[in-house]
């Protein structure tokens, strides 16, 4: 949803006076997909109290804390060292 919002102009036209309706159609598709997935039952997943407690007790960070942490862990200049593993294993190429 964030990519759909940030990656598309809100206004279009020579004078930026027309709404870019396609952007809102894309965002609608994303929201509807999320709503459908939230209604889908997962009968084979068993409730796990420990995992539920970990999720509910997770610390929420504000923008300032997130920025401060990103400065600590991201390399200068935003370059990623592709020789080192990063991210979840399933995301690595």
Alpha helices (H) along the chain: 2-6, 21-39, 49-56, 63-73
pLDDT at site 44: 87
Pair 69, 75: CB distance under 8 Å = no
Q: Is the pTM of this model over 0.85?
A: no
76 vs 31, higher pLDDT: 31
Give the residue among 61, 59, 58, 88 at the shortest CA–CA distance from 72.
61
Hey, what are 46's tokens? Answer: 């068993």
Using the 8-state DSSP alphabet, how is residue 76 labeled? G
Residue 93 binned pLDDT confidence (cut-offs 50, 70, 90): very low
pLDDT at site 79: 64
Mean pLDDT along residues 40-68? 92
Distance CA 31, CA 29 (A): 6
């Amino acid at each position: 949803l964030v990519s759909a919002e940030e990656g598309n102009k809100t206004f279009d036209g020579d004078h930026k006076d027309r709404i870019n309706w396609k952007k809102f159609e894309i965002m609608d598709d994303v929201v509807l997909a999320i709503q459908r997935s939230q209604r889908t039952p997962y009968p084979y997943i068993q409730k796990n109290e420990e995992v539920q407690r970990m999720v509910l007790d997770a610390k929420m960070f504000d923008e300032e804390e997130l920025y401060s942490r990103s400065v600590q862990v991201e390399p200068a200049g935003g370059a990623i060292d592709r020789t080192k593993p990063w991210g979840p294993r399933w995301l690595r190429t």
